[in-house]
C-alpha cells in the first residue's frame, strides 16, 4: 500500500493552475512552503514530495512570491538542498552563529539654522495678542512657506500663547462637513469654497486661497478646525481635486500631517486668517479713520489784516446829498 501523500489534493490544484485564466501558482507555492516549515523535521518521502512540487513552481511565479518563499526557507533549518540551490541560498552550519548586522551609523548632526526670525515669529513666541498686522504677516508667511516649513509653523503654533479662535459649534460643523463631502464627491470646488468660508467665517478671498493652495496644508488646517475625521479628510483629498488626489504621495503626506495636527494649531491659524482680513480692511479704508482727519484737512490760506480798518477812515462829504 502506498503512503498517503504529504499534500493531498495538490495534484488536482496543479491541473487547475494550468487552465487558461486561472493562476493559483503563487498561492499554491506559499501554502506549500507554510505547511512544510510548520514541522521541525520531515521524512525522506515528505522531502521528496516537497521538492517535486515546489521546484516546478519556483520558476513560474512572480518575483514577489519567490522573494517571500525565499525568506521563509532561508531561516528554516530543514530546507532541502535542491531548493536551496534553486533559490540561490547557502546552507548554514548548525554550529555557526548567525552573523551580526552592521552597526547603524549615527545620524549626522543637523546644522543650526542661521535665518534670523521675523518680527511675527518672535511675537508668536512671546506675545499674548495678535494684532491685525501680525495676523496678516503670519498668514502670508504660512502661505509662502514650503512643505517642511509649514509643518514646523504648525508645530510651533501648538505651544504659542496666542489666542486661538473659538471652536465651531458641533451642529454647525456637522452640517458643514456633510455639505463639504457632497461637494467634494461632485468635484464642485465653487460650492465647496463657499461652504467652507461660511462655516469658518472667512471671506471668499481667504477661503479660495485655502482651497486652491497646491500644497494642501491650509485645507488640512481648515478641516481640523471643523473636526473632520481622518477618513473623511482622505476622501475629500481624493475627490475634490482628482488630479492631485490621484497622487499617492500627496494623499499620504497630508494624511500624516493631519493625524499629527492639533486642534489648537488649526484654530490659531484660523484666528490669523480672520485677523489678516482686518488688516486688509484697515489699509483699504485708512483715509476714513479718525486719526487721519488731521491729515485730510485742507490748509486754509492765511488772511492778511487790512491796513485800514473799517470805520477808521475819515468820512467824505457829498455836496450834492449834503452828507
Tens of pLDDT, residues 177-200: 999 999 999 999 999 999 999 999
Indicate the average pLDDT of the chain.
77
Q: In this structure, what DSSP letter does residue 228 have? A: -
pLDDT of residue 6: 54
Judge whether residue 2 has pLDDT over 50: no
Question: Which is more confidently placed, 183 or 34?
Answer: 183
- How far apart (Å, rounded) are the C-alpha atoms in residues 319 and 317? 6
pLDDT of residue 257: 94
pTM: 0.50
Q: Which has the minimum average pLDDT: 67-76, 130-139, 148-157, 249-258?
A: 130-139
Contact criterion met (CB below 8 Å) for 206 and 212: no
Q: Identify the sign of the CA torsion 39, 43, 47, 49.
A: negative
Question: Which is more confidently placed, 22 or 202?
Answer: 202
Per-residue pLDDT of 260-300, as tens digits, reads: 999 999 999 998 898 887 655 554 545 444 455 444 555 55
% of the chain beyond a pLDDT of 70: 66
Contact criterion met (CB below 8 Å) for 239 and 306: no
pLDDT tier, 218 (very low <50, low <70, confident <90, very high otherwise): very high
Q: Identify the sign of the CA torsion 125, 129, 131, 136.
A: positive
Cell of 62: 512572480
Amino acid at each position: 500500500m502506498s503512503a498517503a501523500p504529504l499534500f493531498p489534493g495538490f495534484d488536482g490544484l496543479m491541473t487547475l493552475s494550468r487552465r487558461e485564466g486561472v493562476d493559483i501558482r503563487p498561492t499554491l507555492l506559499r501554502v506549500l512552503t507554510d505547511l512544510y516549515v510548520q514541522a521541525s523535521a520531515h521524512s525522506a518521502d515528505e522531502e521528496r514530495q516537497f521538492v517535486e512540487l515546489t521546484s516546478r513552481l519556483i520558476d513560474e511565479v512572480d518575483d514577489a512570491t519567490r522573494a517571500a518563499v525565499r525568506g521563509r526557507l532561508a531561516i528554516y533549518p530543514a530546507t532541502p538542498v535542491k531548493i536551496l540551490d534553486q533559490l540561490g541560498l547557502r546552507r548554514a552550519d548548525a554550529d555557526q552563529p548567525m552573523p551580526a548586522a552592521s552597526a547603524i551609523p549615527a545620524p549626522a548632526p543637523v546644522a543650526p539654522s542661521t535665518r534670523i526670525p521675523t518680527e511675527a515669529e518672535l511675537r508668536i513666541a512671546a506675545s499674548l495678542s495678535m494684532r491685525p498686522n501680525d495676523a496678516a504677516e503670519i498668514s502670508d508667511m504660512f502661505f509662502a512657506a514650503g512643505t517642511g516649513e509649514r509643518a514646523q509653523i504648525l508645530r510651533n503654533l501648538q505651544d504659542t500663547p496666542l489666542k486661538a479662535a473659538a471652536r465651531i459649534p458641533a451642529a454647525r460643523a456637522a452640517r458643514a462637513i456633510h455639505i463639504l463631502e457632497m461637494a467634494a464627491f461632485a468635484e464642485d470646488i465653487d460650492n465647496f469654497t463657499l461652504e467652507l468660508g461660511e462655516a469658518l467665517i472667512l471671506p471668499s478671498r481667504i477661503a479660495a486661497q485655502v482651497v486652491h493652495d497646491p500644497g494642501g496644508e491650509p485645507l488640512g488646517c481648515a478641516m481640523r478646525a471643523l473636526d473632520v475625521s481622518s477618513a473623511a479628510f482622505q476622501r475629500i483629498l481624493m475627490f475634490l481635486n482628482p488630479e492631485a488626489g490621484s497622487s499617492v504621495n500627496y494623499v499620504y503626506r497630508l494624511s500624516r500631517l493631519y493625524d499629527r495636527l492639533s486642534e489648537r494649531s488649526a484654530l490659531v491659524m484660523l484666528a490669523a486668517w480672520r485677523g489678516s482680513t482686518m488688516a486688509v480692511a484697515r489699509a483699504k479704508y485708512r483715509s476714513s479713520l479718525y486719526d487721519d482727519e488731521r491729515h485730510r484737512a485742507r490748509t486754509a490760506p492765511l488772511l492778511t489784516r487790512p491796513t485800514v480798518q473799517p470805520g477808521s477812515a475819515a468820512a467824505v462829504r457829498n455836496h450834492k446829498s449834503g452828507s
